Amino acid sequence: MWPIVKMTKREKVRFILEKLEELYPDPPVPLHHKDPYTLLIAVILSAQCTDARVNQITPLLFAKADNPYDMIKLTEEEIREIIKPVGLSPMKAHGIYHLSHILIDKYNGEVPKSFEALEALPSVGHKTASVVMSTAFGVPAFPVDTHIHRMLSRWGISDGTTVTKSENDAKKAFPKSKWNKLHLQIIYYAREYSPARGWDITRDIITQALMASKKK
């Protein structure tokens, strides 16, 4: 248990960063991939699905097509059948097939390195683009998933009204140099210590300390 002291916002941020670094000094990327294209596909498949389930399905898909040129040799129906266990398969298969065509036609089969170009692709929203930009290309970004959205609210970094506001508040609160690693650290922390269901505040060491500070 930490001593209960009133923290300024700056001290709160430093405390969060220090504890996360202590717990997760080298957080791995949850989705298995080998290059920007396979990462892009994996992130698309992860919409409303667990990373664990996606990691079970991507080897089956990538065994048949791990690049856009091989992907368009499959039909949408063939893609859909492979990815059916991750859910939303008709929409995801349609997006994967058509974005693969676009990558070939416009980008020589490569994944573009800009938010604007990525977000113009089928099935690619801002969060997916942020994951690809940060993980594949090392561009500072702060992808906000359900875990990060929850933690930013519990920690008082954002009010939890919208994902967009959570992202903007996080970017204001945390140093830009920390964003890419930090968003992974928060995901792992949320899963292990601060789940949406069955939340036990006595195990949620960061939130507990911050709440105690607030009450002081």
Provide the residue type at 85 as one letter: P
- Catalytically annotated residue among 127, 200, 214, 215: 127
Q: Is 9 a catalytic residue?
A: no
- Catalytically annotated residue among 145, 165, 181, 216: 145
Chain Cα centroid distance, residue 198: 22
The answer for residues whose C-beta is within 8 angstroms of residue 19's C-beta and 6 or more apart is 205, 206
Q: Is 145 a catalytic residue?
A: yes
The answer for residues whose C-beta is within 8 angstroms of residue 213's C-beta and 6 or more apart is 4, 5, 6, 7, 12
Please report which residue ranges of 33-88 form alpha helices under DSSP H.
36-45, 51-64, 68-71, 76-83
Active site members: 127, 145
